[in-house]
Chains A and B, each alone.
Chain A
């Protein structure tokens, strides 16, 4: 018992350090392909967090969909859109400082809010339950439950959304005919209008 508790705490801090480090690497790496790999790491470690929180099914989903699906998609598109002018992503100092300001502000705000409302959670139990429960069956039941606490309607809506996304993705990315004759004419019209 003491072992498992100690391991849980140890793992949390370990994962936290690794995930934050990987996240920083993700947003600051100059090579976008490397960033994708770091992102994969962050997402995988998040799956570990889910395990710590007693949600093994979600951890599986995280690995399958995020790591196996989305990141692979990102990697594909990185390959497809490789251009020489963006071989290295070096944002200007102004961009960096603006982004840093926004990030810091949101972080400080979040922490302040948490700190000031920490007492609200204390009654509910100040520590997260770390026991592993069988969440798979419960999620399955909740998703297909037609009762007032069920999620069958959002579930169906999400499936509709995915259908729309599939069609939309195909429509957007399919081969389009770029009208070569129209482009210069348009610019000359603009020139006339400006003159």
Chain B
């Protein structure tokens, strides 16, 4: 058992499938949720999987450097920024419309 586990470490493909699975789940949440905060959570999931990919490729292609990690840090920062602005908009939306239902916020149609 130990031998099997030790000689079959997760390959690139495993990591990539994992991250794209997380990404797709994020996309699903982004598109299916009615609650605006839920939508934002989906976006966070997708972003998170992107950051994971950056670190993965960093280790894979240039293990001696940290470029991918730095990118991940930037992604986390931008995600935080996006969350702050998004939350502010949702609070404003709630003040105006008494709901954060995405289907209700459709004033900007033709």
Contact = CB atoms under 8 A, between A and B. Distances in A.
A66 B15 contact: no
Contacts of A50: 52, 55
Interface residues of B, number: 79
A170 B100 CA distance: 19
A192 interface: no
B105 interface: no
Q: Which of under 10, 10 to 19, 20 to 34, or 35 or more describes the interface residues of A? A: 35 or more
A85 B34 CA distance: 11
B37 A78 contact: yes
By secondary structure, the B interface counts as helix
A128 B15 contact: yes
Interface string A53-67: 111011001100110
21 contacts: A2-B3, A6-B5, A26-B42, A42-B22, A55-B55, A55-B72, A74-B37, A81-B93, A83-B101, A90-B34, A100-B28, A102-B28, A103-B24, A114-B13, A114-B16, A126-B12, A128-B12, A161-B78, A165-B81, A165-B84, A168-B88
Interface of A: 2-3, 5-6, 8-10, 12-13, 16, 19-20, 23-24, 26-27, 32, 35-36, 39, 42-43, 46, 49-50, 53-55, 57-58, 61-62, 65-66, 69-70, 73-74, 76-78, 80-81, 83, 85-86, 89-91, 95-96, 98-100, 102-104, 106-107, 110-111, 114-115, 118, 121, 124-130, 133, 135, 138-139, 142-143, 149, 151, 154, 158, 161-162, 165-166, 168-170, 172-173, 176, 178
